[in-house]
Structure 1
Amino acid sequence: MDIAAAWPNSLAALGPAFYTELAPTPLPDPYLVGINPSLAAALGLDAQRLASRAGVEAFTGNAPVAGSRPLASVYSGHQFGVWAGQLGDGRAILLGEIESPAGPHELQLKGCGRTPYSRMGDGRAVLRSSIREFLGSEAMHGLGIPTTRALIVTGSDAPVRREEIETSAVVTRVSPSFIRFGHFEHFSARGQIDELRRLADYVVDRFYPECRGTPKFAGNPYAALLEQASERTAAMVAQWQAVGFCHGVMNTDNMSILALTIDYGPFQFLDAFDPGHICNHSDDAGRYAYNRQPQVAYWNLFCLGQALLPLIGDQELALAALESYKTVFPRELQARMGAKLGLADAREGDRELLEATLKLLAADRVDYTIFWRRLTRHVAGDSSEAVRDLFLDREGFDRWLARYQERLGAGTAEAAQRMRQVNPKYVLRNHLCEIAIRQAKLKDFSEVETLLALMQSPFEEHPAHEDKAGIPPDWAQHIEISCSS
């Protein structure tokens, strides 16, 4: 199939130390599970053509995409805080880049067979995890959070063993770049400094050209790169925390150098607010609990700093580059949480108000998304009873509400408008995904399509889908997601 005039592959230009060229491994009788028309349009692609039989074959890895140069990249990383050594694209193959109205983007097939970096894995993805990534990445994009995206999902009845026998799928991921912290760690750990410099220069020149002339670091572009990655990562994680997103497996090989949310495995949006919530069933020690994500992000950046140190050349300079995380994260989080409360400006005492808000939510395990949406409606003129009904401690809520209303003051119409733009009605809750997955296993993909549309405009009312914005059913508490998700 030919969908682009040319498929440049700038990663391949870095040299054979960075990748292995190989073709995807075909799957029998592939079928279309879902397609993202809005992303296709943004990339200048024809969604109907992608959804055709030829498109399904191509994006399952069964037929070559004319002009592409498939390859799998090598990287290393820390997993659950432990150095794991060489990793790499164990089930993903990069087709190359397409030039689009949105700029150059890489397209990558995930789940298309073994690569030299699969270790003991089978190189496959299952239908369940592929649907979760397809919908999860689009949900994050709809919320305005930096993320990789997903263009198309195809399935096959070919069996794959996880906790049980499941069926195969391939998801086509889209990103300006899939380079991770782990790419830098790989070459640094091996003492391959020439390759490390080549990689850093590539990232700087392609994505961070301003790093070439940063006076703060006396012309050291690698320290400037570390600072840019730190600040962007801080802003991204602040957005995660504000919307109640749990990544679940923040290994250094799952951290994007562009500060994009990447690798949707055991992710979850909070239901009941529990700061210590652990969404990953495999995370026995709770390393990646919701309230630990900001600290883990900094730890991962420190690992990136260590990897870049041979290029930066000065440990104090590297530490100075990392220091901005400690300023940017609290500032970004304060701004985003203030916006959720409808506050137009920052004042003394706001931090205490925000802390009191979260403490109140945690004490009664109040549904995080529903609280903010009902509070928005109250500020817009509705009674406070719908918000109050979420709490067991009604008197505690009444005291908090009086304090909040005093801080909010006049101009509630403007405040409500601000709140509508940051407090979604819909997030991709686990049970919604689970329902879509169960139907998809029966070859009914209508719920995947419905959720995709909702997640693309999560701040809108969508009155026909009120059931998807309500309190989760009791069985949702028993859904377990793990690294195989």
Structure 2
Amino acid sequence: MNAPESPLPELPVFDNSFAALPGAFYTRLAPHPLPEPYVVAVSNDVAALLGLPAELLDSPQFAEIFVGNRLLPGSDPLAAVYSGHQFGVWAGQLGDGRAHLLGGLRNELGHWEIQLKGAGRTPYSRGADGRAVLRSSIREFLCSEAMAGLGIPTTRALCVIGADHPVYREEVETAAVVTRVAQGFVRFGSFEHWSSRDRDVELRQLADYVIDTFRPECRTAANPYDALLRDVSRRTGELIAQWMAVGFMHGVMNTDNMSILGLTLDYGPFGFMEAFDAGHICNHSDHRGRYTYRNQPHVAQWNLYCLADALHSLVGGALPARQAIDETFGDAFEASFERLMRAKLGLRDGQPDDETFIGETFGFLQQHRPDFTLFFRTLSGLSGTANANDAALRDMFVDRAACDAWLENWRARLARTPWDDAERQAAMRAANPKYVLRNWLAEVAIRKARSGDYTEVQRLLACLRQPYDEQPEYAAYAALPPDWANGLEVSCSS
């Protein structure tokens, strides 16, 4: 006879704000169970964000809840509908094909929605199985938390729960569910869905929901919907600048993967720049190079135009809607990117020609292809005058004379706004991470996890929480990729 199940500890009360929208916005359905689930990884930081008690994390019920086998009290699970442009082409209706929104929590730290990704088929699965695999779930878990550690707006990840249930991709893999957490999961494509169907009532309801729940300051504007569009445009510009400053490439910037709240959303074929190439394609499925590193600002603006077109009836016309993007996105991106790059380069106080010097620096990186993260982190330790420590940077270049010439120009720029070396170096280290989630690091953790060893996932997570700190115990994570990693590829199935 089975022992009675112990009661759950006291939990925060669910606040199901999205579920309060009319039924046209979603389908209510429970996650599909997975047998004998087990914990692969947990982010204690996110658990604290949600106010989850420690006894829940340590209980056998934790895996049952966050694989979808047992619902939390007050949960009202649903899958949301949306549409979107994929690789620049209208794809029509999409939706949460393998995601179940359990509900939201509101506490002193904010409003948090909890979503299971990989918890089974929904009406929006388009023939797919609704499952996620261990490989992709670990990648999303680690990168969500890595981006948070870098200070970049992002969805978060509470945990990965595995199950020895077969899932068929290019090969047979095992199932996993990642629990995603964010203030909200509304996408550009959520608005495109209603606009494409000429459903003005639902379009307005969704816009009102976003304003009243997440952006109440927009309500006092002369046109709240114009204010919302400008807010999204500004936040998106700032987000893309932050991505590019750390060498991050999203890999699949479709409009259904763009957050209305300016968060990094949907981690699939992402990558962090290694040997610098502005034309690098991190997504093996991106055959035409739409989502290269250098194209990200252009694609973001194109996506914002799609959002503007969807909202034009609320904003006051197609031209004013696009004008809202033109008046906000470019300035937000450029100002943020220049500010971030000045910080990375240790340039105290802006100078009129900084944009030119930053452009020349990227030209220098493009020509000589040093590792992006290591270049800036190593630069952070150099003196304002040439000395023997320059060797650490010079050794990254075959053409050392070219490196010396760039360093001379850099130091000349430093001298125009003098700054104590120690103070500048500390500021540069705070702007240049030592650790990012390189693909080979994730691959090592995944391979060990496939054999039942989950310690590397948690160890890597611990490092990525503090990416700007030296952390000598994790120094190997800052190394160049090993030779075996040169052939690693990620695609939309990753």
Q: Provide Cα deviations, 1:250-305, integer angstroms capped at 9, x if missing partner.
A: 00000000000000000011111010000000000010011101100000000000
Deviation at 1:48, TM superposition (A): 4.4
What is the identity, as a one-letter code, of the residue corresponding to 1:10? S
Match in the other structure for 2:356: 352
Match in the other structure for 1:476: 485
Match in the other structure for 1:223: 226
TM-score normalised by structure 1 residue count = 0.97
Judging changes above 3 Å, is the alpha-carbon distance between structure 1 residues 403 and 92 closer, same or farther for their aligned structure 2 residues?
same
Match in the other structure for 2:370: 366
Aligned-partner SS, 1:460:
coil
Match in the other structure for 1:429: 438
CA–CA separation in structure 2 for the residues paired with 1:319 and 1:206 = 24
Match in the other structure for 2:105: 98
Aligned-partner SS, 1:24:
coil
Match in the other structure for 1:320: 323
What is the identity, as a one-letter code, of the residue corresponding to 2:304? L
Contact 2:309 2:322 in 1 (8 A): no
CA–CA separation in structure 2 for the residues paired with 1:456 and 1:3 = 28
What is the aligned counterpart of 1:383 among 381, 389, 407?
A: 389
CA–CA separation in structure 1 for the residues paired with 2:307 and 2:442 = 33
What is the identity, as a one-letter code, of the residue corresponding to 1:361? L
CA RMSD after TM alignment: 1.3
Counting only pairs closer than 5 Å after superposition, residues 161-176 of structure 1 correspond to structure 2 as 161-176=168-183
CA–CA separation in structure 2 for the residues paired with 1:209 and 1:30 = 40
Deviation at 1:5, TM superposition (A): 4.3
Structure 2 unmatched runs, 5+: 1-7
Do structure 1's residue 307 and structure 2's residue 310 form an aligned pair?
A: yes
CA–CA separation in structure 1 for the residues paired with 2:260 and 2:488 = 32
Contact 1:35 1:51 in 2 (8 A): no
Contact 2:11 2:53 in 1 (8 A): no
Counting only pairs closer than 5 Å after superposition, residues 72-471 of structure 1 correspond to structure 2 as 72-214=79-221, 219-323=222-326, 324-379=328-383, 383-409=389-415, 410-411=418-419, 412-471=421-480
What is the identity, as a one-letter code, of the residue corresponding to 2:363? K
Contact 1:376 1:416 in 2 (8 A): yes
> After the TM superposition, which of the residue ranges 316-325 and 222-231 deviates more from structure 2?
316-325
Q: Provide Cα deviations, 1:200-227, integer angstroms capped at 9, x if missing partner.
A: 011111112222233xxxx111111111
CA–CA separation in structure 1 for the residues paired with 2:130 and 2:358 = 45
What is the identity, as a one-letter code, of the residue corresponding to 1:311? L
CA–CA separation in structure 1 for the residues paired with 2:71 and 2:145 = 26
Aligned-partner SS, 2:491:
coil
Aligned-partner SS, 1:104:
strand
Deviation at 1:382, TM superposition (A): 7.0
Match in the other structure for 2:4: none
> After the TM superposition, which of the residue ranges 371-380 and 151-160 deviates more from structure 2?
371-380
Q: Provide Cα deviations, 1:366-401, integer angstroms capped at 9, x if missing partner.
A: 100000010001148871110011011211111110
CA–CA separation in structure 2 for the residues paired with 1:479 and 1:272 = 14
What is the identity, as a one-letter code, of the residue corresponding to 2:404? D
**How many residues are aligned here?**
481
CA–CA separation in structure 2 for the residues paired with 1:305 and 1:382 = 54
> After the TM superposition, which of the residue ranges 38-47 and 140-149 deviates more from structure 2?
38-47
CA–CA separation in structure 1 for the residues paired with 2:313 and 2:105 = 33
Deviation at 1:94, TM superposition (A): 0.4
Task: Using the aligned pairs only, state the percent identity.
Answer: 56
CA–CA separation in structure 1 for the residues paired with 2:87 and 2:323 = 26
What is the identity, as a one-letter code, of the residue corresponding to 1:254? N
Q: Provide Cα deviations, 1:93-120, integer angstroms capped at 9, x if missing partner.
A: 0000112331120000000000000002
